[in-house]
Amino acid sequence: MKTLNNKLDAIAKPLLGITPWLLRLSLGVAFFLHGLGKLPLPPQRMVVAFESRGMPIPDILASAVSIGEMAAGIGIILGGFFSNHIGNLITRLSGGAVCVIMIGAFYLVHSEWFITTKLFQTEQIFLFTLGLYFAIRGNSKA
């Protein structure tokens, strides 16, 4: 077992530097595409859904969600290109935006999933968890 572990370590070691980018690109692209799929603005299906829930200014809110998803996705990716405090801030704010948007999605659209097996069988929990990861960790390597 130790020999196998050493071989796997030797294979993985040169790739360790890209591992944060695997998470960053996955979340960033997925979130950007979620927002892009809601174009043109306002996204009419969301407007109708928000209206049916009695939400105020549903067209503006639906447009803000779409724009927020695209901006958060871009921010997650863009933040990784800056190794200073600005990159860290962009990453953390974008991760926080992902969390806020996903909490809204859980509450408004998927409330029946909350703490059920269905929640853990969808990509939404992973989007939320990755957003939380970047909100907490930022660009920190430690």
pLDDT tens digits, 98-137: 999 999 988 887 777 777 787 778 888 899 999 999 999 9
Q: Is the peptide bond before 40 cis (omega within 30 degrees of 0)?
A: yes
Per the domain annotation, does 7 fall within a domain? Answer: no
Per the domain annotation, does 113 fall within a domain? Answer: yes
Per the domain annotation, does 127 fall within a domain? Answer: yes
CA distance to 29, 60, 73, 111, per residue, from 40 (Å): 19, 13, 18, 26
- In this prediction, residue 72 has a pLDDT band, given cuts at 50, 70 and 90, of very high
Helix (H, G, I), strand (E, B) or coil at 76: helix
Per the domain annotation, does 12 fall within a domain? Answer: no
- In this prediction, residue 142 has a pLDDT band, given cuts at 50, 70 and 90, of low
The length of the chain, given as a count of residues: 142
What is the DSSP annotation of 9-48? HHHHGGGGGGHHHHHHHHHHHHHHHHHHTTPSSS-HHHHH
Mean pLDDT of 41-59: 93
Per the domain annotation, does 117 fall within a domain? Answer: yes
Mean pLDDT of 27-45: 96
Per the domain annotation, does 104 fall within a domain? Answer: yes
Q: Which domain holds residue 117?
A: 20-137
- In this predicted structure, the answer to whether residue 58 has a pLDDT above a threshold of 90 is yes
Q: How many domains does the chain have?
A: 1
CA distance to 113, 114, 122, per residue, from 117 (Å): 8, 9, 9
Per the domain annotation, does 38 fall within a domain? Answer: yes
Helix (H, G, I), strand (E, B) or coil at 141: coil
Per the domain annotation, does 2 fall within a domain? Answer: no
